[in-house]
Amino acid sequence: MSVLSGKKILLGVTGGIAAYKTTYLVRLLIKAGATVKVVMTPAARDFVTPLTLSTLSKHPVLTHFTNEEDENDTWNNHVELGLWADLIIIAPATANTISKMVNGTIDNLLLATYCSAKCSVYFAPAMDLDMYKHPSTTANFDKLASYGNLMIPAGDGELASGLSGKGRMAEPEEIIQFIEQHIESQLPLRGKTCLITAGPTYEAIDPVRFIGNHSSGKMGAAIAMELATQGARVHLIMGPSHVVCQHELIDRVNIKSAQQMYDAVHEIINVVDVAIFSAAVADYRPSNPADQKIKKKSDTLTIKLVKNPDILASVGAMEKKPFLVGFALETDNELEHAFAKVEKKQTDLLILNSMRDKGAGFGVDTNKITIIDKDKNTSTIETKPKTEVAKDIINEIIKRIL
């Protein structure tokens, strides 16, 4: 999965022959999972049609502050556009537009949006050889960089004038690669390795039946995705679950029993920086699972249970342990039990759920949690989607390990 997945990208197209390449760029951005809106300068319409880019982006292409064909139509708010974008790409960026960006000359919707933006701005110069080398142009490149803008270097090749040299706009694939690499280099968990357990465990009674619980694995999967989104290499050890969790940085190991989860954890625990235990692990298992299906012969059936290994406690007792995050699901005296678990399991953070809170617990798409640190300081995250709760948890971890 690309780091551009889910990003809101504003593509600014200016009046250069390289504008035709933006059709391919829009397609690649959409393929990467981004939402794309296009703003064109009036001159850009001479090189590529708004209809083409609107069809590819599935959004109206904007050129002017108002609809020239209907003076009563809604004003295109450049401030809202600038604030909507997670990042802006100006490609091609002509010498004329670059000069205006440097000097704050706002004579079209794109430049007004650029000056209103709070996000990262990438620009891909495209111009003829002599224009590219001109002292005013190189000075403008430096000035834009000093403003925090990021230049995607032009390539060498045949130019529209017939000359050959520097000034050819980077190819769409190169633009995508440049932006992805830059974003990845800024991710706070880049270079970190994390482990997370998720879902239930099933403890066999016989080949057909098991002891389990109602955990869906949704919270753990959301955390795994957020870890990967923040740049971490993630080892997800997942109990039986239908939840899909796919990302190029996530290595998923599917297990069934608590013992299998214990073994999988201890295979890699010594190489991880952060370990998060969100799985709902069965505390007990049948001592002697039957080899064959147990037949219904009497009105009662007695099953002897024995304790499962305590995975969280086993990691908490390690001399050199990773940053350790546990989960606790309680039904009564929640804080009292959670504080005791922090001490017993030696966690750095404990995430407390209560089954009494509406919108929290197993199977639902929302959660309400209390985060408890090892000094028993608490902070409560009110009910919200589990994907958002995952971000809050990871941000709390980042504050403590970086």
Domain boundaries along the sequence of the chain: 8-186, 193-401
Report the chain's mean pLDDT, rounded to a whole number.
93
| Residues recognised as catalytic | 213
Q: What is the pLDDT of residue 333?
A: 87
* Alpha carbon 341 to its chain's center: 30
Q: What is the pLDDT of residue 285?
A: 96
Domains 8-186 and 193-401 share a fold: yes
Q: What is the pLDDT of residue 402?
A: 86
Structure tokens at 368: 């309400």
Q: What is the pLDDT of residue 128?
A: 86
Q: What is the pLDDT of residue 75?
A: 67
Low-confidence ranges of the chain (pLDDT < 50): none
Q: pTM for the whole thing?
A: 0.81
Q: Quick check: helix, strand or coil at residue 248? A: coil
Q: Quick check: helix, strand or coil at residue 321? A: coil
CATH fit for domain 193-401, picks 3.20.20.120, 3.30.465.10, 1.10.760.10, 3.40.50.10300: 3.40.50.10300
> Could you tell me where the DSSP H helices lie in 85-211?
95-103, 109-116, 129-133, 135-146, 172-186
Q: What is the pLDDT of residue 242?
A: 94
CATH fit for domain 8-186, picks 3.90.1150.10, 3.40.50.1950, 3.40.630.30, 3.60.21.10: 3.40.50.1950
Q: What is the pLDDT of residue 77?
A: 82
Whole-angstrom distance, CA of residue 42 vs CA of residue 12: 11
Structure tokens at 106: 């706002």
Whole-angstrom distance, CA of residue 91 vs CA of residue 88: 10
Phi, psi values for residue 119, rounded to 5°: -100, 180
